[in-house]
Chains A and B, each alone.
Chain A
């Protein structure tokens, strides 16, 4: 376990370092990404620009600039080029909206994904399975931003069932918080429900053919106990892995489309807007934040995996 932890942490640091370099280089190299224009404004005098260039150290070698930016990232003083807002504060401001969206949606998609997957496997080949299969396949074929936009149009503009986007903090008004989040939750979970139910169905069908399930039936366990204690326990393991990674990516700002369509002003929308204005510091900060969550959750997933399946040994 200790060796696993050490190697895993070393690996995490390496991956995060590589990601920071990659992100920095992508946005450092692009034409039109010149930070001086963002700081001094497009109409500034050439002399002012040169002064800014010198003051901010944009004449230094690339690796010096990279090191300086990473130092600021780590001590939390990183600021946007275009509006001088602190990146960490902006990120923290976005977290409640993103967390509300992702945690709520995750509960929904896990519940329905597992429910549909189990029903589909238990009734494999019969009517419920066919219906669920069709629904799941349609679910994974929908462009979610399109669904979101249509839902907003029909359910808020045509029929005023829901508020027209935006985010209200839970602490401010719980009812309003809920009504603002129902459509985004639905949108974000559709895709995952489709994937999880398909995956769980095929896992369960695999496990049902295992010898230990036959043994369990042969020794007279009830169908319910066979299903819950033997089949589900094993079939859910891959779902745990998948869920860890999906959850990490979404809470790290991967729910860009849902957040943008519904104007939730979360981490994902912040990333999208920063990329749109080619503002390197927030892009770097948020990318690292997202990557950190993904790497962290995949390490947690491995530990949980080893707990759930004693055959698995932890080797990083």
Chain B
């Protein structure tokens, strides 16, 4: 990055003598536009963002692939059928139970599993579930962490004590242990909380569990930043103008922590996909027969000896997806704030 130092000299906070007050709107660039410019120059980050969209697009198109290319549903067994491999018809599952491996054909492109199901189709459908959990859980974490963090940091006093203690308690559980405990408990009985009823096998169980356990990881830094920001002059000015609490919180303070939140949300999606895989691997996440990348790996690991493709294929899907998000998130952080620091596992 040879031009990086030149980049920083265009600091919006620096008083630029040659810019007159009437010209500020055109000559001075806002921090967001500067960030966009830095991001556009980071070709690696953009390439990985593109890769991520390709993966999301492919998973979205799972029903099309299933119907027009592979010609089989994600949960359809096929123990007796045959498939072409190198010009010959071979058993999809041999009589001794070994499924066929990957090969160049429309059907069973990535091989079959022990029930004769098409791995490629299940991979795409599993990806929909994994991505859904990754996104939705990130949304839940962000919404709760930001509103609780804002509330605690801005109001201080009793709400702060309550929210901070809640964060402390959640934080003191080893995160995976807590998620497994909740996931297992809810997967068996389902969730019955007042008007909310969720079936035990629902995708919403792992989504809510993952969304919940990471709240303090964003909530604590948000609270800390808000505590510092609320002492700044612009907040005092807003208070002096008679602005309402909510408007100050969301209109004045929130934009100042938006870049932290944005970077965290990108990285937490990646992290959630890994957590989903870990939970499903331990039986506390997505419940079979629902496919997800985690359950596919879990089923594949048991058959590594006879059919290694069953574990390798979904694992590579996870690595590519998570890597693309991590590289993009890294670039986003550099672009938004070269000094931002986040703690995230």
Binding site for B on A (CB under 8 A): 11, 14-16, 18-19, 22-23, 26-27, 29-33, 125, 133, 137-138, 140-143, 145-146, 149-150, 153, 157, 191, 195, 198-199, 202-203, 205-206, 238, 242, 246, 249, 252-254, 256-257, 260, 268, 271-272, 275-276, 278, 283, 287, 290-291, 294-295, 298
Contact = CB atoms under 8 A, between A and B. Distances in A.
Contacts of B326: 137, 140-141
Contacts of A29: 185, 189
Contacts of B281: 143, 145, 257
Contacts of A31: 188-189
A23 B294 CA distance: 25
B36 interface: no
Contact of B319 (A18, A143, A253): A143
Contact of B177 (A33, A198, A253): A253
Contact of B180 (A30, A32, A272, A291): A272
Interface string B309-334: 00110010011001100110010000
B274 A256 contact: no
Given A133-B330, A145-B281, 4 more contacts: A27-B181, A150-B304, A275-B181, A287-B181
B165 to A, nearest CB: 7
B224 to A, nearest CB: 13
Given A137-B326, A290-B177, A30 B185 contact: yes
List the 5 closest A-B pairs by CB distance, nearest first: A254-B174, A141-B323, A141-B322, A31-B189, A146-B315
B345 A195 contact: yes
B277 to A, nearest CB: 5
A202 B311 contact: no
Contacts, number: 143
Given A31-B188, A294-B172, A149 B311 contact: yes
B270 interface: yes
Contact of A30 (B175, B189, B319): B189
B282 A272 contact: yes
B240 interface: no
A301 B185 CA distance: 33
Contacts of A140: 326
B169 A153 contact: no
Given A15-B168, A275-B180, A125 B318 contact: no
A276 B188 CA distance: 11
Nearest to B2: A125
A35 to B, nearest CB: 14
Interface residues of B, number: 50
Interface of B: 1-2, 4, 165, 168-169, 171-177, 180-182, 184-186, 188-189, 270, 274, 277-278, 281-284, 294, 297, 301, 304-305, 308, 311-312, 315, 318-319, 322-323, 326-327, 330, 338-339, 341, 343, 345
Nearest to B270: A141
> What secondary structure prevails in chain B residues at the interface with A?
helix
B308 A153 contact: yes
Given A32-B188, A137-B323, A278-B188, A291 B172 contact: yes
Contact of B174 (A32, A198, A253, A278): A253
Given A19-B173, A150-B312, A294-B174, A145 B278 contact: yes
A138 B323 contact: yes
A260 B2 CA distance: 46
A146 B318 contact: yes
Given A22-B169, A249-B174, A275-B284, A137 B327 contact: yes
A192 to B, nearest CB: 9
21 contacts: A19-B169, A23-B181, A30-B188, A33-B185, A137-B326, A142-B319, A143-B297, A143-B319, A146-B277, A150-B304, A195-B345, A199-B341, A203-B341, A205-B338, A249-B174, A271-B177, A272-B282, A283-B181, A290-B174, A290-B177, A295-B172
